[in-house]
Amino acid sequence: IYARENGKGMFFQPDADEGSPLSDPPPVAPKPTPPPRTKPVLKRVK
């Protein structure tokens, strides 16, 4: 999907593997971790 948008049809396989982890996995994993910690902090602050 990302490869088609970038115009790299021949590299759709390598890009999907490298593009997915570098674009979605990393950001998605770190985000879920901080939110839970910020929620309790906000509640305590209130």
In tens digits, the chain (46 residues) has pLDDT values of 444 555 555 544 554 455 454 545 555 555 555 555 555 555 565 5
Q: Which residue has the tokens 């088609």?
A: 4
Note the pLDDT of residue 43.
Answer: 59
Note the pLDDT of residue 36.
Answer: 55
Q: Which residues of 13-25 are buried (b: 16+ CB within 10 A; e: fewer)?
A: eebeeebeeeeee
Q: Which amino acid is at 44?
A: R
What's the DSSP call for residue 7?
T
Q: Which amino acid is at 2?
A: Y
